[in-house]
Amino acid sequence: MTGDVKRMYINGEWSLAEGGATFDIVNPADQSVVATVTNGAAPEIQRAVAAAHAAFREWSLLAPKDRGRFLLGIQELMQERCDELARLVTLENGKPFEEARKEVQFSLGYFGWFAEEARRMTGEWIPSPQPGKRYWVLHQPIGCVAAVTPWNFPATMVTRKIAPALASGCTVVLKPASATPLTALAIAEITRDAGLPPGVFNVLTTNRSRLVGNELLTHPLIRKIGFTGSTDVGKGIMETAARQIKRLSFELGGNAPFIVFDDADLEPAVDGAVAMKFLRVGGQSCICANRIYVQRGIAERFIPAFIDAVKRLKVAPGFEPGAQVGPLINEETRAKVHALVEDAVKRGARLVCGGHYLTEGAHAKGFFYAPAVLLDVTDDMAIAQEEIFGPAAPILTFAAEDEVIRRANATRFGLAAYFYTRDLARLMRVAEQLEYGLVGANDATGYTHEIPFGGFKESGLGREGGHEGIEEYTEVKSVVVNLG
């Protein structure tokens, strides 16, 4: 990337928008402008889609092992530039630098996994029910893909979409979140340095969300849309895509329950709850623990230990040594979290930790919020019904297994759930009965590249990761041959 304005990446070149429109990228830790980015519009969308379409035939006909070599080259360069990428993640997203490094390390693994999966896109030979005929089934790339990614994981959300798309033989137009495009542009630079042919991967930077919906997602040459974001926005995209019968894969909102049974090992359960509530972008993640259910027999031990651990968390700018929780992405997000906390308190919950703006010293200019813990929360409170997307932990108690499963499933979301128990029979029962696409049993690390990830109910469509991830970008073709 060259020049003072960060340019979008179209057809292997760094491009400015017609008319020179730009927008600023703000560091949420101090509201300083860290970069100015070109602001794309309809002409840039047309150019990006045209480039992806023109590159599709040659890329899709390339041998899968050769596509895989490109992906492995990208993975290698991402590894070499890990700290550089992590620095960008912290600058534009605010998360602690060590957390950003872990994200980049995880994100580059998708290129390694799908480089191998490209070679495993096997078809089928179907035994013929009739003499003189043969049947086989092929999996072929769907075409040009539009990928729309959020700001909370600026590296992982990009690679989790583009790696399987490229591995399958598709070409991509990526629209990263307007708050965090710098990481995506750096990944584009890496793909260029790795020799990826022009047009195969394009990055469109814009803060004109309506334009993306009207121009990119409805473009007739876009055959597939991959989106991660809110359920409400996903529904709008689904309505738009329905008019052209476009293929979709969505990872949408969540309302993850975190369940602690009486027989759980206390220390791992506390550590897991703190990690899944506060140590993933400060709670700004769709799979973060949103509701913590504690069985009454362990509540008197779990709750004080959890509160004590939360009070010890270091809330600080991302580059400060030892930072564990950074700022929220913007004031709108901070205000929403605070409103949910205040509403719960008004309705009878007890705020026992945090729950206020941090506005002094290193926190003075950023969107910092003191990690909150609330007790006496009930299921009908908004904080237990809505996705919090921030550092606030509502704690609810329960008496019996059947009760907590019913309460945990009583939501329109179904992305992730977690529970802790030492009872193997209970572990199997609960894992099978929770209506969620990802279930962590005595585990709070989340997913990995090798398994499919996605949601039930209003939390999404399709899967990312695993062998299922590459199938989302293919069409199935049946071939019938009459041998005469």
Q: Render pLDDT for 413-423 as a digit per residue (tens, 0 to 9).
A: 999 999 999 99
What are the catalytic residues? 251, 286
Q: Say whether pLDDT at 108 is over 60.
A: yes
b (16+ CB within 10 A) / e for 51-63: bbbebbeebbebe
Alpha helices for 279-417 (secondary structure H): 296-311, 331-346, 382-385, 401-409
Taking residues 377-402, report their average pLDDT. Answer: 98
d(CA 68, CA 290) in angstroms, rounded, equals 38
Mean pLDDT of the chain: 97
Q: Say whether pLDDT at 2 is over 60.
A: no
Beta bridge partners of 418: 258, 440
Domains and CATH numbers, the chain: 5-252+459-480 (3.40.605.10), 256-448 (3.40.309.10)
| pLDDT tens sequence across 195-245 | 999 999 999 999 998 888 789 999 999 999 999 999 999 999 999 999 999
Where is 112: in which H helix or E strand? helix 97-117
Alpha helices for 213-287 (secondary structure H): 231-242, 266-278
pLDDT of residue 4: 85
Beta bridge partners of 293: 259, 396
Give residue 213's identity as a one-letter amino acid code: G
Taking residues 175-186, report their average pLDDT. Answer: 98
Q: What angle do helix axes 296-311 and 266-278 make, rounded to 10 degrees?
A: 50
